[in-house]
Structure formats: structure tokens, C-alpha cells
Structure 1
Amino acid sequence: MLSKRALIGIRTSLQAFVMLFFLFVGTQVIAADPAVVESEEAIAAGKTVFNANCKQCHKLDQKYTGPALRGITDRQSIEWAKSFILNSQAVIATGDEYANELYAEYNNIVMPPHTFLSDDDLNNLLSYIEYGDKVDPAAEAAAAAAGGDGAGGGSGGIPSEFLTIILVVLVVILLLILVVLGLITSVLTKYLNKQNLEEDDKEFVTQKFDLGKVLRSDGFVIIVTALVVALVAKTAIDGLYTVGVQQGYAPKQPIAFSHALHAGEYEIACQYCHTGVEIGKSANIPSANICMNCHTHIQNVGGQDGMSPEIAKIYAAVENDQPIEWVRVHNLPDLAYFNHSQHVKVGGIECQTCHGEIQEMEVVGQHSSLTMGWCIDCHRQTEIAASGNEYYDKLVQLHSDSKDALKVKDIGGLECAKCHY
């Protein structure tokens, strides 16, 4: 049996242990910023901030123009990270060792200040950096292996080698048919020659093939004439259908801007440069000032010395207060109305749907025909993005009896006044 004093001692020790435990947990909770959390709302909001301000130079898990960002709150304090995001040069100027090491490692590239970001924006941004878009290494390796099975893998089309084989087989079959027909004709001729035929029939069976006579025959002349007229008519009609169609048009621009580099390799969102695409009728061509957001700090490419000649043209345009005279690629006739925000913002249509794989183009060309038939066909096939859009709730309810999905054609997408007014 334990004495009363021993029991009191044990109870006191347990109370002290509990107090120390909660004190430790409390300090950890206080040390961690409760605003930098792994919540879907914070991560989604942070991703928006990241895409608008950071994506051009940073990735979460790998080095890019700037360092990989994930884990910054482990390497430094949250307050340090916020200060650096707001004004990196101010932190560097204090002599901060880590900040100066980063600055030197990335060739003294100046990160623009982001003093316009609120504290909530910073918290959401850090939440996304730490918890957003995590990639499973095993899944990533499997995807890379699946994509490396060979050229053309997963394209969904018939390889050109198979088409060639099919054509060769068809030609061989046709030749075999001709040979068989020739043999049948020869056998029949020999058989008929052994029969007691009348003189006219015998002359017909034994007659020889006369190519000149065939070429001069009325039937041959009519067939050839009909084919020539049909070919000329088809060529003329095709020519009429291509009037005003500039599919494939890819003019040389005053500055050799590569979408493959900017939208492809650097993954700059289309909306960053074409600022009107979600808010207006036109996507608008970016001004030189938008270019300077990045090229104030990036003045060469490929590691070359000095300023790149193409980037120098941007500086010249800004210094002389002259717009860059880009050559227009896509141009609808004045009689047609097209609204980018209606398609991109409301309809959720990707840029590549109309413009092709723009992120792979060194020189931009017109990918689609942009004819009325092309637009109408799209309206017939495209389903309405009604999910989460209250504007379409009533339409979806009225369309609920139909087995087919609600498409653009069902809400007036084929009416003349939609595009012509």
C-alpha cells in the first residue's frame, strides 16, 4: 500500500506533466500561423494569387527563373516570407544572409515588389505554396513512362505507316483482279473459238484490242469531257468557298515573340498578356508596358551577353512612346459579332479550342477556318457549362425531360441575330 504522502506526490507529478504538455502544445499552436492552413478555400484563393503574380518565374517543387517555393516556411519564418514577397529588395538591403544568397544564386534578378497584396492574400498564397498541387512521385514517374513509349503514342489516330500498308494492299488487290479478269477473258476466247460460231460472231471474238479506236470513240470523248468539266467546277467552287478564309495565315511579326517559350515553357497564362479576354469583346493585344513587367528584369535569353535584339525592340518602343505594330492574325468580318468574355468566362472555352495548340507555336498562325459553318458546327456540338452557374438553372430545369445534354444550339446558338446584328 502506498502512503498518503506518496499518492500526493504522484498526483502532483501528474499535474505538472499535464501542465507542461499543454504548455508545449500551446506554444506550438502559437508558433504556427493559424492563417496558413491546409484548407481548400485558402489553397484555391492562394492559387489565384500565385497564377497572377508568381507563376511566371516560380514553380512549387522545382527551380525555375526563381527558386522552388514549397517549404519556404520551414526554411524561414512566415513573417520573413511575407516580408520578402512584399519587397524582396528591402529584405536584401538589410543584409539578410539567406536573402542575399538567393539574390546571388539567381543572377541578381530583381523580384518585383508586391506591396499591393493584403495579409489575407499572403496567407492564402503561403497556404497554396505549402499545401497546393502536390504531385505523387510514383504517379508522376508512371505518367512519364507512359508518355515515353514512342512518338505518336496515345495520339488516337491511325499511324501513317498503316495507311501506306492499306493503300499498297488495295493496289495489289486491284492488280490481282485485273489479272484474273485477263485470264477469264483468255479462257473464254479459247473456248468460243472451238465452237461453231457464225462468221460475224467469230470475227467479234477474234478481234484485237485497238487503243486508237478506243481513244477516238464517242463514249471516251464524253467521259473525258465530263471529268474535265467536273474538275474545273469543283476547283472553282472550292476557290469561292475559300474567299475571305485565312486558315494557316502566319505573318512575320515586328518582334519574334515565341508563344512556345512564354505560354509553353514558362507557362504564362494567356490572360496575363491578353487582359481583355475575360472581361470584354476583344482579347486585345498587350502593350509594351505588359512586356516590361518581366523584361525590366529579364534582358537576354539563352545566357547570351547583353540585351537580346528582340527585347531591345520593346525597350525602344517604350522609350520612344510608340506602340509595337503587331500584325493581326485573326480577323472576323465586320458583319459578324464575337465576344471573348462570353465564350471564355461564361462558356469556359479553352483558348486552344479556337486557336489550336498556341503554347507550341513559335510563330502564331490561324488554326481554325473561323467560317460561319465552323462556328455553327461548334454550337451544335458544344454542351453548356451549366454547373455552378445560376444563370442556366432555369434552362437546365426546362431541359430536364430531354435525354440529350443541353447544348448551345438549344439556347438560341443557331439564331441569326446571335452573331449578326
Structure 2
Amino acid sequence: MSIKRSLLGVSLRIYHLILLVLLFAGGQAYAANPDVPDSDEAITAGQSIFNANCRTCHRLDQKSVGPALRGVTDRRDLDWVKSFIVNSQALIQSGDAEATALFKEYNNTVMPPHTFLSDGDIMNLLAYIEYGDRQDATGAAAATGDGAVAETGGIPSEYLMIILVVLVVILLLILIVLGLIVSVLTKYMNTSDKLDEDDKEFINQKTDFKVVFKSDGFILIITAIVVALVVKTAIDGLYTVGIQQGYAPAQPIAYSHQLHAGQFEIPCQYCHTGAEIGKSANIPSANICMNCHMHIQNVEGKEGISPEIAKIYDAVDNNQPIEWVRVHNLPDLAYFNHSQHVTVGGIECQTCHGPIEEMEVVYQHSALTMGWCIDCHRNTDVVTQGNEYYDKLVQLHSESSNEALKVKDIGGLECAKCHY
């Protein structure tokens, strides 16, 4: 009788174990869209795009300001994912139910548009999201420092999905068989007249959930989970301190960059006169606005002009500055020089400020964090052509490396460059 009792106990334990495995496997199985590239080159390129545009609000495998991204091409249609990345607000305004629900779920947080990304850029980004920062079965990185899946030893995602489905089916069958065995053994042993009271009590025992919930072990586990969630939430909150990506304050005058920089193609430096010659790009004065508006209005005085342009006239007549609200703010401990980047580095305004020519209301496009700047310095080639200053540096660099001279190679990662 003790042998039968042991078999029944083992069967119950295996039954519960498989049930837990099924629950875990069911929550973890997904496969990336097969159209997403998985080459090392695509993953590496996608990591740079992710670090520059997404890392502030997103993580691959856990929620942050936005949702966890891994498996997004399995959960959503690929074309929908592309549309959401390019311009999520346009998709939401079109009435798309999934986009609207996601927007509400994350407290109506606006994700900046990424219309400057090509289709190839988006596919590279998705390659990093689906395959980046993973490890192979041995625990070592499977590819270049990104942790991408190696060409040898890796399992294609479609095959992995098939394997997981087969395993789940097998476990379900085993679970059903074990359930039948437990039921048959219980009925058989209850009909036996050779059982003592202890055996009958063991066979017919019921789980007392009140005892389980009041046990020290259960309380310890729940406490540990709650503490871990609180700590994680606090750490995630600390990572977002001082980050204003997406910040779009209301301005005293409804100035449209889409109209001026986009439709009329006015150069950025015409209004922001300091970008090429100084540290600050400068906010334009009302006089710069009047250079154009005193000629393009076919009216006498202020009659007939729009209320917004009338505010410019008032500022000039009263000799009062327009109190524009600063959008891009760097901490006082960080030094940034516009002329060094615009004139010497040849950096386009859109590199940091995004598609400014498409913005009706200006918002902070990039994270402007230290990590974001460092990633740019690591990946940006120095413009050396036609500048004799770099000739010797290029010569010295070429003697030790076959790669192009990057900002990091000329001191772009030194602390004193930005903090002094």
C-alpha cells in the first residue's frame, strides 16, 4: 500500500510541475515576422537607430515609458508596426483601434514621428528589436557585441515556434494521461478495505488555500515580488528624470515651422543666427520676423492681418521681446557648442532636432541624454575632406585602423569635452 501511495504522490507532483511549465511556456512563446532580417549587419545598424531614437522610452524585454518591444512583429501586422514607428499620431488620428488603445494604455504619451527613417532603417531597427542583445545556448554572445543570433548554432524563429508548439502539445498529452492515472488510482484505493485512516486521509486530502495564503513562505514570496516591483518602478522613474523627449510647450505666437521651413524653405540659420558662429543657436527677435512680414502684408498698418502676426507688430511697437518658451534644455553641467557641430562637423539640424520642417508645433525630437550624445560620437564619421586640420590625424589613425576616423577617435568620449 505504501508503494501505491508513493506512486500517487509522485504523479501528483509531476502533474503540478507540468502545469506550471505549460503556463510559463504559453506566456513566452512568440516568433518574429520572417520578413524581418536577422543578419549581423542589420542588427548592428538597428542598434544604432534604437539607441539614438528609442532607448529613452523603450526596452526590448520589459516595460519602461513605453511597452516592451521584443516580439512586436509577432503581436502586430508588420505594415502596422512600420506605420506606427513612422508616425504614431497620424495612425491614432486615423481612428486605428489598436493604436488608440495603445496610446490610452500608456497615459497618452506622445511618441515623436520618425518620418526621416527609410524603410530599410525601420527593418534594421526591427532586426535589432527582435534579435538584438540575445545569447546562444552556451551563454556567450552569439554575434558581434550586440548579442545577435549567430549564423551557426542559432535556430530560425519559425522552427523555434514549431518546436515550442510541439512541446506544448506533448506536455498537454502527458498532463491528460497523468490526470487519468491520478483519478484511477484514487478511485481504486478508495475501494480497498486495506487502507488505514492515515492512507485514506492522504488520498482524499484537499488543498487548503487559507493555510497556503497564511504560510510564511507565501507571505515571503509576495513581499519579495512587491518590493521588487517597487524598486524597479523607482529605478525606471530615476532613468527618466530630466528627460523631456516629446516636450512641445505652447508658444506665445503660433509659429509654424512646417509653413516657414517646410513650405517656404527658409533656412534654419536665417532665424537662428548663432548656430554657425556661436555656442547658442539664438531665438530670433521680432525684428527678424518683421524682415519678411513688413513686406508680405498688403495692408496699411495692422488692419486685416492675422491675430498671431499682430502680436509681432505689438512686440515691435512696444519694444518688448516675444517671450518664446525654450523647447530644448541641456543641464548647466553640460557644454554644447552649435558652431562646432554645424560649421565644423557639418551636422544637419534634423540630425538632432528631427524633421523640423514638418512640425506645426516644435517638440523635442531626440532624448538629448549623455548616452544619446556618446552613441552619436561613437558612430559619426569626422568630416575630414577639404580640412587640412585633420590631415595628420587621418594619417595617424590609418596606421592603426582600417575604419573611418570617428568623433570618438579625436577625443569625443573625453569627459572634459562636455563637462568643464
- Alignment check: 8 A CA contact 1:264 1:359 kept: yes
Normalising by the residue count of structure 2, what TM-score does the alignment of the two structures yield?
0.54
Q: Tell me which residue corresponds to 2:243.
A: 245
Pairs within 5 Å for 1:19-418: 154=119, 156-157=121-122, 182-190=175-183, 192-193=185-186, 207-299=205-297, 306-400=304-398, 401-418=400-417
Where 1:296 maps in the other structure, the secondary structure is helix
Task: Give me the whole-angstrom Cα distance separating, in 2, the residues matched to 1:210 and 1:218.
Answer: 15
Give the counterpart letter for 1:315 in structure 2.
Y
Would the alpha carbon gap of residues 185 and 407 (structure 1) be closer, same or farther in structure 2, given more than 3 Å must change? Answer: farther
Task: Give me the whole-angstrom Cα distance separating, in 2, the residues matched to 1:372 and 1:220.
Answer: 43
- Alignment check: 8 A CA contact 1:299 1:311 kept: no
Task: Give me the whole-angstrom Cα distance separating, in 2, the residues matched to 1:226 and 1:271.
Answer: 56
Count of residue correspondences: 260
Would the alpha carbon gap of residues 218 and 299 (structure 1) be closer, same or farther in structure 2, given more than 3 Å must change? Answer: farther
Give the counterpart letter for 1:335 in structure 2.
L
Structure 2: gaps spanning 5 or more residues = 1-90, 92-114, 131-157
Structure 1: gaps spanning 5 or more residues = 1-150
Where 2:295 maps in the other structure, the secondary structure is coil
Task: Give me the whole-angstrom Cα distance separating, in 2, the residues matched to 1:381 and 1:272.
Answer: 29
Pairwise CA RMSD: 3.6
1:150-171 CA distances to partner (integer Å, 9 max, x unpaired)?
x9993754799xx9xx9xx99x
Work out which structure has the larger RCO, using CA pairs closer than 8 Å and 6 or more positions apart in sequence: 2
Q: Tell me which residue corresponds to 1:34.
A: none
Question: Offset of 1:286 from its aligned partner?
Answer: 0.8
Task: Give me the whole-angstrom Cα distance separating, in 2, the residues matched to 1:222 and 1:177.
Answer: 34
Q: Tell me which residue corresponds to 1:36.
A: none
Give the counterpart letter for 1:215 in structure 2.
F
Task: Give me the whole-angstrom Cα distance separating, in 2, the residues matched to 1:351 and 1:404.
Answer: 26
Question: Offset of 1:221 from its aligned partner?
Answer: 2.0
Question: Offset of 1:270 from its aligned partner?
Answer: 0.9
Identity of aligned residues (%): 70
- Alignment check: 8 A CA contact 1:189 1:205 kept: no
- Alignment check: 8 A CA contact 1:189 1:206 kept: no
Question: Offset of 1:201 from its aligned partner?
Answer: 7.5
Would the alpha carbon gap of residues 156 and 371 (structure 1) be closer, same or farther in structure 2, given more than 3 Å must change? Answer: closer
Would the alpha carbon gap of residues 186 and 157 (structure 1) be closer, same or farther in structure 2, given more than 3 Å must change? Answer: farther
Higher mean alpha-carbon deviation, 227-236 vs 182-191, is at 182-191
Q: Tell me which residue corresponds to 1:99.
A: none
Would the alpha carbon gap of residues 219 and 325 (structure 1) be closer, same or farther in structure 2, given more than 3 Å must change? Answer: same
Would the alpha carbon gap of residues 226 and 198 (structure 1) be closer, same or farther in structure 2, given more than 3 Å must change? Answer: farther
Would the alpha carbon gap of residues 190 and 330 (structure 1) be closer, same or farther in structure 2, given more than 3 Å must change? Answer: same
Would the alpha carbon gap of residues 245 and 198 (structure 1) be closer, same or farther in structure 2, given more than 3 Å must change? Answer: farther
Would the alpha carbon gap of residues 156 and 182 (structure 1) be closer, same or farther in structure 2, given more than 3 Å must change? Answer: farther
Task: Give me the whole-angstrom Cα distance separating, in 2, the residues matched to 1:375 and 1:337.
Answer: 12
Normalising by the residue count of structure 1, what TM-score does the alignment of the two structures yield?
0.54
Task: Give me the whole-angstrom Cα distance separating, in 2, the residues matched to 1:383 and 1:215.
Answer: 60
- Alignment check: 8 A CA contact 1:355 1:367 kept: yes
1:326-384 CA distances to partner (integer Å, 9 max, x unpaired)?
11111212221100011111112121221122122221122222222221222122221
Give the counterpart letter for 1:187 in structure 2.
L
